[in-house]
Amino acid sequence: MRAVGFSEHGGPEVLQLMDIDTPRAGAGQVRVRVRAAGVQPFDCAVRAGRTPPVVPFEPPMVPGNEFAGVVDQVGEGVDGVEVGAEVLGFGLLNAYAEYLVVAADQVTTKPPGMPWEVAGGFSAGAQTAHIALRELRVGKGDTVLVHAAAGGVGTVAVQLAARWGATVIGTARAENHDYLRSLGAIPVAYGDGLPDRVRAVAPDGVDAALDGAGGEALTASLALVADRGRIVTLVEHARADELGVRVTRNLRSAARLAELADLHARGELRIHIRRSFPLERAADAHREVETRHGRGKVVLTVG
C-alpha cells in the first residue's frame, strides 16, 4: 500500500511517499481503508523527534493519529463493526496510509452527512477539547479563557464551553475574530497587554483557562486564574508540575467520539477545514500546521 513516513527525524522534507506492506486485522482489530486523515501538531512533533518516544523508533515510521474511512477487514472476536461500515477513529500512528489497523474500540460510526474531510480531522481536536473542559469542570456561569481559540482544539472548546453555559473568551489573531464571534466567543488579540485586555471584557474574573499556545498565553493564564488547578496546558507539559497546572489525560474513547460526532450531525458542532492536501503532499500539510496561525483543521485525503 501507499503510505507517507520517515526514516529519520527532521523537518517536513523527511516525509516521503513509500510502498509498505498492507497490514492485516488481528483478533479484536479492524482494518480501515482510509479516506482522510487529520494532521496534528503531535504528528509534527513525532516527525521532528520533539516528543518522548511514543513507540520504539523503527523506520519507516508512519504518522497520523486520527482518520476516517471504510472498514474492509474484521478480526476474530469483533462484534458490532462490520465490513463496509463507514467509521471515524483514533490511534497513535499509521493514519497517513491507504490502510490502517486499530482496535475495534477505537472507531465509531461516521454520521452519514459528515464529509470525509471533516470526519478525518475530527477525532483528535474534538476529543482533546472535550477531555480538557471536563478536567477544568467547566459549567454554567463560568468564564473560560481559550487560547489559540481558532485552531482545531480551540474551535471545538469554544463551542462546547458555550453550549455548557460558560462565557467564553478566545485569543486569536485579529483576522480570526469574526470567526470566533460566530462560534460564540468574545475575541481578544494576542500580544503585549493580553491580561489587561482579558480583564476588560471579564471584569468579574476568569474561572478557568485552556492553553493551546504556550508562552505568553500560559503566563497570562497564571495571572488571570486564581485556582491553578483550573488551568490546562496542551503545550507546556514540561512546566506543568512546576507551575501546578494540569495537562490532559489520555481518555479518548469511541463513546466520547460518538457523542461528539452526534453533536456535529445535529448541527451543534461546527468543524472548519482550512486546507486539504493529497497524501503525497503530507510535507506541505506539516508546513501548514507548523505556521501555527491557521483557522481550523488541516487534512490529508487518501485515494
Q: What number is the average pLDDT over the span 27-42? A: 97
The rounded distance, in Å, linking the Cα atoms of 149 and 282 is: 24
Question: Range with the lowest mean pLDDT among 50-54, 172-176, 232-236, 259-263?
Answer: 50-54
Nearest CA among 106, 133, 104, 86 for reference residue 25: 104
213 touches 231 (CB < 8 A): no
* CATH (one of 1.20.1260.10, 3.60.20.30, 3.30.1330.30, 3.40.50.720) for 125-243: 3.40.50.720
- Digit-coded pLDDT (tens) for 187-214: 999 989 999 999 999 999 999 999 999 9
Could you tell me the pTM of the whole model? 0.95
**What is each CA distance from 151 to 30, 171, 263, 266, 271, in whole angstroms?**
30, 10, 19, 22, 10
- Digit-coded pLDDT (tens) for 246-257: 999 889 999 999
> Is the bond preceding residue 112 a cis peptide, omega within 30 degrees?
no
Cα 58–chain centre separation: 25
pLDDT of res. 105: 97
pLDDT of res. 82: 96
Q: What number is the average pLDDT over the span 279-291? A: 96
Where exactly are the structural domains of the chain? 2-122+271-301, 125-243
Report the chain's mean pLDDT, rounded to a whole number: 96
Q: Is pLDDT of 80 > 80?
A: yes
Give the confidence band of 55 by pLDDT, cuts at 50, 70, 90: confident
Q: Is pLDDT of 231 > 90?
A: yes
Q: Do domains 2-122+271-301 and 125-243 have the same CATH topology?
A: no
The rounded distance, in Å, linking the Cα atoms of 68 and 273 is: 14
CATH class of 2-122+271-301: alpha beta
CA terminus-to-terminus distance, the chain:
11
- Digit-coded pLDDT (tens) for 4-20: 999 999 999 999 999 99
The percentage of the chain sitting over the pLDDT mark of 70, rounded to a whole number, equals: 100
Q: Is pLDDT of 52 > 80?
A: no
pLDDT of res. 165: 98
218 touches 210 (CB < 8 A): no
pLDDT of res. 303: 76
Residues in the chain: 303
Find cell 506539516 and name the residue: 286
